[in-house]
Amino acid sequence: PGGKKDKKDEKASEADKYKKKDFTDRQKGMITAFNRYVCYIKPSDSDKEGKNQYVEVKYARARTYFEAQHWEEAALAFRDVAINHADHEAGIFAAQLYLESINVLGDKIDPPRPDCFDKMGEDVPKLIGLYCTGARAAANEDQCAVLTRIQCDIERLKAENMVKIADKGGAGALRQYEAAANAYLGLWRKYGEDAVKNNKEQQCERLDEVVYNACKAFQAGRLVAKAIQCRQILLNPDNKMTESPLARKAVYEIGGNYQAIAVYDKAADWYEKFAREKPKPNAKESLDFWNEKADTALSDSVVLRLGLGHDTKALENAKLFQQFFGARKPVQNAQIAFAIASYYVEQTKWDDARNQLTKSMALIDKHAAYDVRVQAHAMLGNIYVQMKREGSAVPEYKKVADLWANPKQAADKVMEDAKDEPESGRIRRLGKALTAVGEALFFFAEEKRRKTVDPIKFPEYTTSTYKPSTKKVELMDTYEFEEEMGKRKKESENVKKHIDTKVKD
């Protein structure tokens, strides 16, 4: 609340600074004289001296309004001189003071009148046409640079407003984003591209931001390929923007663009480029962004490389992550170690999987999420089983059982560790942990079966001398049929007795 009040007071104080002043008696007399002169004196086109004095009087009148901070009157008076008397030396100065007066009206007074900027937007191109073409351009070089910057700012404001309209959504939002992006790029091509090619000073400020905003608008309009091409403008050394903090952001965001369209090898390339090119300490803004995003870039590149089967590069990225962030990001470091082990298991590279997990298990046990710890020990147990080393698997599966000794507490711990994830992600984590627990329980059940059930020798059933008749039942007479049925009944009783006999208590 205090901060808001301070800002409000500051704005009010600024408005007071630009508040309209009362005319002094001298200024009143001058205004009256100037108005009378302009009203009654109309020099002919051939009267050069008279026309010169006529313009000077108009300029002096405008200046009097300006000094008394009567901004609207000053703006109208200066505009009159600037637009209608471009051949007079006062014209270019009147143009500058006209724009300054408009700026005060639009932003400094209370209440501000932003619609004044629309008028400025209409007049600046006229002023540039009057003062910044042909022979006048060289004579007004400094003033024209200011006019050009103002025109650039106006065009930029139009592009910004297009984005604001698109942000509101609706059926035409995507087309509006594309139009805004093209408007931003038009600014770059108009005020930056040629200047860079011809090694001239850029007349429009913050063009790196202009290009960056174009890229964001393309992305918001779901034109990912165009967003990538746009960001390449920032990274092209010929455009002299590679040292901009926004160029550093562009490297990371291109990785995200490629990942979004499932071009995973290029996504990994760009993430690695971003992470490996750590900015120097004096590039504070770039370094701050690197510190914020490099760990994510590296961990994502590990996952992407593993998915692509590029295990060597994945391991290189994992080592780099450990070097840069191992101490500060132990949870992610443990997750990466587990992901690499999982990859080796999927590839049935049991030795590599065992080496990866055994050297990382202390890290995983100390810093990984609870479900990852459960899965890691179950995975190592399975690796040992696959390597025919069941004895080594026992302590790993026992660790799983111990971690799940209290099922409710364990499940709550899994859900708590994943509290920042959506519900579907939390349930998925719990499901993977339960699968690992089930695997451990099955292992111990199989162990018990081998130890207690397999050694039991079941008595072998030996058949009696009974042999089924080869004669079909329907061909037997009554005596033969009754005899055959009697034998079969006796045999059935013998089999049942064998089955019912207890083998072992």
The pair phi, psi for residue 286, each rounded to 5°, is -65, -40
Region 267-292: what's the mean pLDDT?
93
Region 43-59: what's the mean pLDDT?
91
The domain total for the chain is 2
Is residue 353 very low, low, confident or very high in pLDDT (cuts 50, 70, 90)?
A: very high
In a domain, 104, yes or no: yes
Is residue 149 very low, low, confident or very high in pLDDT (cuts 50, 70, 90)?
A: confident
* The pLDDT of residue 463: 61
Is residue 487 very low, low, confident or very high in pLDDT (cuts 50, 70, 90)?
A: confident
Per-residue model confidence as pLDDT tens digits over 387-434: 999 999 999 999 999 999 999 999 999 999 989 889 998 999 999 999
d(CA 55, CA 87) in angstroms, rounded, equals: 10
Q: Among residues of the chain, what percentage have pLDDT more than 90?
A: 55
- Give the least confident one: 80-89, 169-178, 325-334, 420-429: 325-334
* The pLDDT of residue 484: 87
* The pLDDT of residue 323: 86
The pair phi, psi for residue 109, each rounded to 5°, is -80, 170
Region 13-21: what's the mean pLDDT?
83
d(CA 72, CA 207) in angstroms, rounded, equals: 32
The residue ranking higher by pLDDT, 221 or 7, is 221
C-beta of residue 381 within 8 angstroms of C-beta of residue 438: no
d(CA 58, CA 42) in angstroms, rounded, equals: 12
**Tokens 């130890």, located at residue:** 451
Region 287-315: what's the mean pLDDT?
91
Which residues lie closer than 8 Å to 298 by C-beta, 6 or more apart? 271, 272, 275, 317, 320, 321, 324, 325
The alpha carbon torsion through 11, 17, 19, 21 (nearest 10 deg) reads 170
Last residue of a domain, one of 404, 425, 449: 449
Region 346-370: what's the mean pLDDT?
92
d(CA 493, CA 499) in angstroms, rounded, equals: 10
Q: Among residues of the chain, what percentage have pLDDT more than 70?
A: 95
Q: Enter the DSSP assignment of 461.
A: P
Closest CA to 372 of 346, 336, 347: 336
Give the DSSP per-residue string, 467-480: ---SS-GGG--HHH
Region 150-169: what's the mean pLDDT?
87
DSSP H/E element including 162: helix 141-167
Per-residue model confidence as pLDDT tens digits over 245-266: 999 999 999 999 999 999 999 9
In a domain, 193, yes or no: no
pLDDT value at 2 more than 60 = no
Range of the domain at 67: 12-139
Global pTM exceeds 0.75: no
In a domain, 344, yes or no: yes
pLDDT value at 488 more than 60 = yes
Single-letter residue type at 225: A
In a domain, 288, yes or no: no
Sign of CA dihedral 446, 448, 451, 457: negative
Is residue 178 very low, low, confident or very high in pLDDT (cuts 50, 70, 90)?
A: very high
Which residues lie closer than 8 Å to 339 by C-beta, 6 or more apart? 302, 303, 306
In a domain, 287, yes or no: no
Single-letter residue type at 121: G
Sign of CA dihedral 236, 241, 245, 249: negative
In a domain, 379, yes or no: yes
C-beta of residue 212 within 8 angstroms of C-beta of residue 242: no
pLDDT value at 293 more than 90 = yes
pLDDT value at 1 more than 80 = no
* The pLDDT of residue 8: 58
Last residue of a domain, one of 139, 174, 207: 139
C-beta of residue 341 within 8 angstroms of C-beta of residue 400: no
Last residue of a domain, one of 402, 433, 449: 449
Q: How far is CA 208 from CA 392, 406, 479, in A?
A: 59, 57, 109
* The pLDDT of residue 461: 63
Cβ burial of 283 (10 Å; 0-12, 13-18, 19+) is: middle
The pair phi, psi for residue 351, each rounded to 5°, is -65, -45
pLDDT value at 152 more than 60 = yes
For residue 334, the SS3 value is: helix
Which residues lie closer than 8 Å to 267 by C-beta, 6 or more apart? 255, 256, 257, 258, 259, 300, 301, 304
Quote the radius of gyration of the chain (alpha carbons, Å). Answer: 42
**Tokens 């209409």, located at residue:** 122
* The pLDDT of residue 6: 58
Region 379-385: what's the mean pLDDT?
95
Region at 196 (left for phi over 0; alpha for psi -120 to 50; beta for the rest): alpha
C-beta of residue 389 within 8 angstroms of C-beta of residue 351: no
Region 38-42: what's the mean pLDDT?
88
* The pLDDT of residue 405: 95
The residue ranking higher by pLDDT, 400 or 490, is 400
d(CA 171, CA 186) in angstroms, rounded, equals: 25
* The pLDDT of residue 115: 79
**What is the overall mean pLDDT for the chain?**
89
CATH of the domain at 439: 1.25.40.10
